[in-house]
Structure 1
């Protein structure tokens, strides 16, 4: 069914610790109990890998926002032009020079 992966010759696996160093099965565990323990550990590791992949995918597709920078931008426009901005819209260009050129519309 599954395939075994030998990491001994793989450079990526060279720095991985041997799982057997950290885990032990009870001496009196039956084959079924040992299989259940291994399955639980494999499911836990797979869940962690899926969660890490989901976080990486979300970070890759998220776009920069004005979150936390609207007040800074509005303050700079006020300081440099003397014109006070009422608000910086969410749809404003994220690139500061482009946004500054459109500040009269805010």
Structure 2
């Protein structure tokens, strides 16, 4: 079914909905992203635009995941100092696994398992 679109200069153009809707591209985009391609873009330009937007969305998703993981408590900086405390207190060397509890009291209770 043809629809009417008004451009910036006030002229009305009739377009076919099948030409303006791209179900394959729209299905791949997140729900909050709306992509409008220029009418005069050829296939190479359209591919470049889609690649640039795809790279931007990918980088944005990685940044969001990194920001979410930043608040997560890990042993990355504390494992060696905790192993040193175990060596000083229990007179044995241990390797503190990454999956060990990050709470010092819980970890201290599991030192026999390390």
Q: Higher RCO, 1 or 2 (CA under 8 Å, sep at least 6)?
A: 1
Which band: TM-score by shorter chain? 0.3 to 0.5
Q: TM-score, normalised on structure 2?
A: 0.43
The structure where strand makes up a greater share of residues is 2
Q: TM-score, normalised on structure 1?
A: 0.45
